[in-house]
Amino acid sequence: MAREFSSVGVIGLGTMGAGIAEVLARSGLDVIAVEVDDAGLARGRGHLEHSTERAVARGKLDADGRAALLGRIRGTTSLADLAGVDLVIEAIPESLDLKAEVFAELDRITGPDTILASNTSSLSVTEIGVHTSRPGKVVGLHFFNPAPVLKLIEVVRTVVTEPDVVGDVVALAEKLGKTPVVIGDRAGFIANALLFGYLNHAVTMYEQRYATREDLDAAMRFGCGYPMGPLSLLDLIGLDTAYEILDTMYHQSRNRLHAPAPLLKQMITAGLLGRKSGRGFYTYR
Ligand code: CAA
């Protein structure tokens, strides 16, 4: 029988962490959300309020449900508050050093049966897990942005992840109303490995002035039925995040499809990160 989770820790309340916390709390789980400082907690609270407001406006949640959902998420700046949780989902920036430090600390703080999951999109779950004394209880749980809306969760098992742990998180994903797919630990997993070659190609077409941003996006929306065109989607994902994903996949596979288009780096250096900075391929605000 699959394990019942009652309280879950989420580390990092950026776009992904806040979305994950919302999904868990919507299913009735208590969430302890950890950020580095009060400003981070306030930003995370802002993401949660904005997203749940949208859910109410779209008829997915009523006002009481929204209040109950928000009430189930407790913010803290101390990792030590995760001592009693059954599962932790880490969603901090994509730095192996940072993640290694957090997982080593979680290993000390949490009970030996607590499952430690990472939402990493491109780093190796195996390399993260070896920084704990329980690599068998370390797994990838990769959500998609926006997490409250998109149904996929990639469950990443390493060669040492215990089968019961995989079974437990698959059952949890289903309880959250998501569709899990279970895969091995390879850069990009399934979705990003396929998606980012396409997104990168769109940037190259734009860089070569082959087509305007509007026409590139219109072609994929109206010709292929995609909900968003590639340049709008890159603005949603964040150009810095997209660059990191491409760069990691390129270094692992040397597949030229994943060699980041030079324009991406230039835009990042200029501070054009997409929606989160107010400007990317398009301007927001
Ligand atoms: N909770 C529950 N449902 C919510 C919600 C919330 N907080 N907020 C919105 N929704 C629902 C809405 O009710 C609506 O549902 P219906 O269609 O049933 O009415 C649906 O979500 C869409 O919301 P909106 O109508 O407000 O927005 P939209 O129609 O403009 O769609 C979008 C926006 C969901 C972002 C859509 O354009 C989309 O799916 N784009 C593609 C996103 C994508 O490809 N993401 C993957 C990125 S790659 C990644 O994430 C991996 C990585 O590692 C970086």
Residue 21 burial by CB count (10 A; 0-12/13-18/19+): exposed, middle or buried? Answer: buried
Site to substitute for ligand 1 among 26, 54, 149, most atoms within 8 A of C-beta? 149
CA distance 13 to 11: 7
Q: How far is the CA of 144 from the centre of ligand 1 (A)?
A: 10
Q: Please report how many Cα atoms fall inside a 13 Å half-sphere around the Cα of residue 135, on the Cβ side.
A: 13
| Pocket lining: 145 vs ligand 1, CB cutoff 6 Å | yes
Strand boundaries in 20-63, DSSP class E: 30-34
Site to substitute for ligand 1 among 26, 49, 58, 190, most atoms within 8 A of C-beta? 58
| Pocket lining: 56 vs ligand 1, CB cutoff 6 Å | no
**Residue pair 258/203 in contact by the 8 Å Cβ criterion:** no
Q: How far is the CA of 108 from the centre of ligand 1 (A)?
A: 37
Write out residues in the chain with pLDDT < 50, as ranges: none
Query: All domains of the chain, ordered by start, with CATH?
Result: 7-183 (3.40.50.720), 192-277 (1.10.1040.10)
| Pocket lining: 104 vs ligand 1, CB cutoff 6 Å | no
Please report the pLDDT score of residue 1 as a whole number: 83
Order of strands across the sheet with 30-34?
Answer: 73-76, 30-34, 7-11, 87-90, 115-118, 138-143, 152-156, 179-183
Single-letter code of the amino acid located at 44? G
Q: Phi and psi for 84 in degrees, rounded to 5?
A: -100, 5
CA distance 120 to 229: 24
| Pocket lining: 237 vs ligand 1, CB cutoff 6 Å | yes
CA distance 13 to 176: 19
| Pocket lining: 190 vs ligand 1, CB cutoff 6 Å | no
Residue 111 is classified by DSSP as -
| Pocket lining: 55 vs ligand 1, CB cutoff 6 Å | yes
Q: How many CB atoms lie within 10 A of CB 116?
A: 25
Q: Phi and psi for 192 in degrees, rounded to 5?
A: -70, -35
CA distance 19 to 49: 11
Please report the pLDDT score of residue 279 as a whole number: 98
**Residue pair 281/235 in contact by the 8 Å Cβ criterion:** yes
Please report the pLDDT score of residue 242 as a whole number: 96
**Residue pair 15/9 in contact by the 8 Å Cβ criterion:** no
**Residue pair 2/171 in contact by the 8 Å Cβ criterion:** yes
* Verdict on whether the full-model pTM lies above 0.90: yes
CA distance 197 to 230: 11
CA distance 7 to 74: 11
Q: How far is the CA of 148 from the centre of ligand 1 (A)?
A: 8
Pairing of strands 138-143, 152-156: antiparallel
Q: How far is the CA of 236 from the centre of ligand 1 (A)?
A: 11
Please report the pLDDT score of residue 167 as a whole number: 98
Please report the pLDDT score of residue 250 as a whole number: 95
Positions marked catalytic: 121, 142, 154, 192
